[in-house]
Structure 1
Amino acid sequence: MTTFSQLMGTQTLLPIIQADTVEQGLDIAKAMADSGLKVVEVVLRSDASLEALRAIKQQHPDLLVGAGTVLDTQMLQQALDAGADFIVTPAITDALLKAVKACEVPGLPGVSTPADIALARENGFHEMKLFPASLAGGIPFLKAVSSVFRDVVFCPTGGINANNRCDYLALPNVIGVGGTWVAQKEWVEAGEWHKITDACKAVL
């Protein structure tokens, strides 16, 4: 099966779409697509998130659209029903790991401790999301676990920004970073979609 890193290809930023309405989600997705990005994540944090994911898939068929903030097996099924191309979780349980592993799409389980990493690895995952990256230890943590979990790579999210993303990406066990800084809330509320496009272009 295709892995998350294979989906990402040369793209090193996983841009996060947090939308309060379907229309907002579509506008953010279009702004990101206009920059040349091919992979985006819609976080399931509002009542409109699933419909936004479904609409983005329909209107932007060239985009690979993942579902983030998947907390349990019910949300996982809803995300798959909406057409999610990949699954991202903020944390893990044994049941959730097994369900994500059984999916037909790639999964990126969220970890924050060595115990989490060991559990995810035991369930067959070698690509993980470190969340919340800055609070979980950031770059020093990633350096520390690199010699222990030599076959595990990460996509850190949480506290990543334009100023520190290159420091994370310089680590050999980092395959990409997740971030919201390319779609800041004030830009979305003001409808300043060009700022999202420009911020995304800056990371390509």
Structure 2
Amino acid sequence: MKNNECTEIESRLSQLKLVPVVSVPSVDTGLRLAEILIRCGLPVAEVTFRTSCAAEVIKAMKKEFSELLVLAGTVLSTEQADIAQGAGAECIVIPGFQKEIVAHCQLREIMVCPGTATPTEVLQCMTMGIETVKFFPAEVAGGVGMLKAMEAVFSDVRFMPTGGINPGNMKDYLRLNNVFCCGGSWLAPEAMMVEGNWTEIERRIVAAVSDLQR
């Protein structure tokens, strides 16, 4: 992926401000979720490779809803990165820094967002030309205070905090100059999707979108 395409994806994420991080149990479930996300004004999802059907879900989402921005999350190998890209994912999200995966994604020209929790990991990303990174697990790794400290040293780096983000602290993160969006797993938990509790999932998404607009 060319630099301008990566910039466009980052810009879309900055506008949306919140990325639902989801472990989807089936393709049909993924399509139902995608429809709700788009209808509620949050056309983005990070589909994690924590389920065996992740690639099929990504492929189906992109086929049926081309306007949906789909990230592949919890990518742990170059093989998974290739599978995710082949399915249509527009960004590869890694839970930590893994040089081999980052270099592979750069070679394959797809946006990659490595996970960081320390200044050392941020420096490793910068060495490879990456200045848009995931901050994970955000709350456990120091939260808002840690990101404020990071900004003083890494003024050009922008973070996507994920892990422990909830309706009560989301805006605290989004107020930071070095945060471009947050990842949230509370919006559509896997257990809730399995139960078919779409009313509550939609309520959570609508509430989050409304909160972001205030």
TM-score by length of 1: 0.94
1:156, distance to aligned residue in structure 2 (A)? 0.2
- Superposition pairs for residues 1-204 of structure 1, below 5 Å? 1=3, 2=5, 3=7, 4-204=9-209
Paired letter, 2:181: G
1:192, distance to aligned residue in structure 2 (A)? 2.1
Q: Secondary structure at the match of 2:51?
A: coil
Paired letter, 1:98: A
Task: Give the whole-Å Cα distance in 2 for the aligned partners of 1:76 and 1:186.
Answer: 26
CA offset digits 1:89-120 (Å, max 9, x no partner)? 11112211211223333221111111110000
- The answer to whether the Cα contact below 8 Å between 1:18 and 1:25 also exists between their aligned partners in 2 is no
Task: Give the whole-Å Cα distance in 2 for the aligned partners of 1:198 and 1:104.
Answer: 37
Q: Secondary structure at the match of 2:173?
A: helix
Structure 2 vs 1, CA of residues 96 and 186 (structure 1 numbering), >3 Å: closer, same or farther?
closer
Can you give the 5+ residue segments of structure 1 that lack an aligned partner in the other structure?
none
TM-score by length of 2: 0.90
Count, aligned residues: 204
Moved over 3 A (4+): none
Task: Give the whole-Å Cα distance in 1 for the aligned partners of 2:75 and 2:12.
Answer: 19
Structure 2 vs 1, CA of residues 76 and 185 (structure 1 numbering), >3 Å: closer, same or farther?
closer
Q: Secondary structure at the match of 2:21?
A: strand
Q: Secondary structure at the match of 2:66?
A: coil
- Identity of paired residues, percent? 36
Paired letter, 2:23: Q
1:186, distance to aligned residue in structure 2 (A)? 4.2
Task: Give the whole-Å Cα distance in 2 for the aligned partners of 1:91 and 1:55.
Answer: 27
Task: Give the whole-Å Cα distance in 2 for the aligned partners of 1:96 and 1:186.
Answer: 30
- The answer to whether the Cα contact below 8 Å between 1:18 and 1:43 also exists between their aligned partners in 2 is yes
Superposition RMSD in Å:
1.4
Q: Secondary structure at the match of 2:20?
A: strand
